[in-house]
Amino acid sequence: MISGERVFIGLGANLGDAAATVRDAFDALATLPGTCCVARSSLYRSAPVDATGPDFVNAVAELRTELEPEALLCALHDIEASFGRERPYRHAPRTLDLDLLLFGKRCIDTPELTLPHPRWTERAFVVVPLAEIAPELAPDIVPGPTLERIG
């Protein structure tokens, strides 16, 4: 087992076969160098928040990684691109979205990366799956609408 930092990634998709994409993205995360996937939440369906398009399929993965935060962020962007992610405008529908939520206890605030993710505690589609795999980290109050667990 990798002894690196404990990291949480939010996964989401709302184009194509979103559930299959999220499942495949879990596998892609596990192939990153110096990284192993420790836990995978169930999949949840949620309405878009600050976005348009069909419902999202969301999940959270717990990783252990020896990568530095910036290198991990670049790797996440590479995985998104390999799944056909395009960024035509902010909050556009997407084939895959990978958000770096928490990276150990690190706090970073640069133009490229903010850790912890600035809005993770405000989004049920992050809090609910995170609570499933790391209940000690989830806030006591789940924001927003109820999610539908789909697998």
Active site residues: 85, 94, 97, 99
Distance between CA atoms of 111 and 126, rounded to whole angstroms? 22
Distance between CA atoms of 133 and 16, rounded to whole angstroms? 26
Contacting residues for 118 by C-beta, under 8 A, at least 6 apart: none
- In angstroms, how far is the first alpha carbon of the chain from the final one? 26
Q: For residue 45, give both structure tokens.
A: 């369906």
CB-CB contact of 116 with 107 (8 Å): yes
Within 10 Å of residue 134's Cβ, how many Cβ atoms?
17
- DSSP category for residue 104: T
